[in-house]
Amino acid sequence: MTAGDSAQSLPRWPAPAEREEIEAKLAALRRMRLVATLLLVAMAALYIATSYAKVYWPWLAYVRAFAEAGVVGACADWFAVVALFRHPLGIPIPHTAIVPRNKARIAGAMGRFVTNNFLTPQVLSRRLANLRIGSWATDWLSRPQNAGRVARVVALAVPEVVRLLPREQLSEFLRESVRRGLHAMPAAPVASHLLGIVWAHGQTQALIDRGLDLLEASLTSNKDAIRRKFEAGSSRWIPRWVDHALADKMFVALMATLNEMRDPAHPWRLELKAAVESLIERLNSDPELMAEVEAVKAEAIATPLFDSQLRALWSEIEQRLPHDAGLYSDRIAAATEAAVTAAAQWLQDKPDVQDRLDRWTRFVIKRTIVPRRTEIGSYVTQVVEAWDATTLVNRMEQQVGRDLQYIRINGTLVGGLVGLAIYVLSGWLLPG
């Protein structure tokens, strides 16, 4: 027997609500057992009284016949009911204690019964047809007390989850996931789309204007240094005033060119526009360029610098993870409650989403249960087999014992009536 089997066979202390239900069933069983037993005693007393009565009334014979047959019927049904669960009076009479002796067969029958009558595709389809998980979830989440309950559970769970996070494993998972994602992503088409979006929204043109501003400011602030560099590279036979004049002319021409390039219709910018648009097109259609971009991507991913950058990214994330997330429980609860309320309102406004949720739930339940219905039936069988005989008898008596006492009561009354009928018929058929 495995550890799991041992655990299943151990008695489980029931929850308070379950304990109250069990106690109520046992009390009802004891009451009905007492009623059936008192009825047997009453029949026996009536039979004795009518048998030894000192007076003679003609109708006493009928009462005695009724009482005699009632005692026989009560005893027979008592024997039958007791024989189901134990040996009557502790005597090992053959074919008694039926339930304990056939525990394995009962366990197998219960497993097959569940498998063949509750978990078939036809039964599940009929039952699931009425399942409305979408509307139920909407109604449940719409209640403020339920939203608050979910928020409290999440606020208690999140700090524990954060505390138990395996940081090193998460770091490795992050790096590996990023690598796999980048390897699977076609670099050239993605770059084409991103460049197309940036270009279409004019961000590239704004970036060019910003670059021109920075270049103009840099040239202006370094005008003297540029002049000295120009003079240092000039021939010593050329006069200084000539170098100064040439440097100034060059600077003025350069600044004028930068100013002209601010015009969107400038030839250089038009050439840049055509080149960018051609690049966007080629990134989507040129196999050679796409292969080159993929090679560059693969080389970049394989460099140690890429791995170090990913480690630095995780370090930044880890530093931002709270060491004591319990300090944020109130914020987590408030955010969760707001999210649950918003989700409930969203579901309420989206009947089509509720229908899709219903269909998805039915599909998942059927795909989960139907292929495993034999395993579920086997699990029921194993659980019942793991019970000891006393546990099995007690649980079955809790469920049907009260109704079985009615069999004793009915057997007493029906037996008495049958005995009375036989007595009457005997008097008619065999007079004198």
In a domain, 320, yes or no: no
C-beta neighbour count of 180 within 10 angstroms: 10
Token look-up 């009905």 returns 32
| Composition of the chain by helix, strand, coil, percent to 5 | 85, 0, 15
Q: Could you tell me if residue 143 is inside a domain?
A: no
pTM for this prediction: 0.45
Within a domain: 402: yes
First vs last Cα of the chain: how many Å apart?
71
Amino acid at residue number 308: S
User: Is residue 206 domain-resident?
Assistant: no
Which structural domain range is residue 397 located in? 11-122+386-429
Domain assignment present for residue 93? The answer is: yes
Q: Tell me if 406 sits within 8 A of 77, measured CB to CB.
A: no
Note the residue count of the chain: 432
pLDDT tens for the chain, 432 residues: list them: 344 444 444 444 455 667 787 788 888 888 888 999 999 999 999 999 888 876 677 788 889 899 999 999 999 988 888 888 888 888 888 888 777 888 788 888 888 888 888 888 888 888 778 778 888 888 888 888 888 888 888 888 877 776 776 767 777 777 778 778 777 778 778 777 777 776 666 666 676 777 777 777 777 777 777 667 666 666 566 666 666 677 677 777 777 777 777 777 777 767 777 777 787 788 778 888 888 888 888 888 788 887 787 777 777 766 666 565 566 778 888 888 889 889 888 888 888 888 888 888 888 888 888 888 888 888 888 888 887 777 778 788 888 888 888 888 988 999 889 988 988 888 787 765
Q: If phi over 0 gives left and psi between -120 and 50 gives alpha, with beta otherwise, what is residue 286?
A: beta
Work out the mean pLDDT of the chain and round it to a whole number. Answer: 79
Residue type, 220: T
DSSP 175-192: HHHHHHHHHHS-HHHHHH
Q: Where are the alpha helices (DSSP H) in 202-303?
A: 203-221, 223-232, 240-260, 267-285, 287-302
User: Which tokens belong to 313?
Assistant: 């990214």
Which amino acid would we find at residue 279?
A: L
Instruction: Dihedral sign for Cα 41, 42, 46, 52, please.
Output: positive
Rounded alpha-carbon distances, angstroms, from residue 268 to 181, 263, 361? 38, 10, 60
- pLDDT for res 155: 82
216, part of any domain: no
Task: List, for residues 297-350, the tens digit of each pLDDT value.
Answer: 888 878 888 778 777 777 776 666 656 556 677 888 888 888 988 988 888 888
28 domain residue, yes or no: yes
Residue 423 forms part of a structural domain? yes
| 357-402 pLDDT, tens digit each | 888 888 888 888 888 888 888 888 888 888 777 777 878 888 888 8
- The domain total for the chain is 1
Cα separations in angstroms, 374 against 8, 114, 244, 381: 20, 9, 97, 10
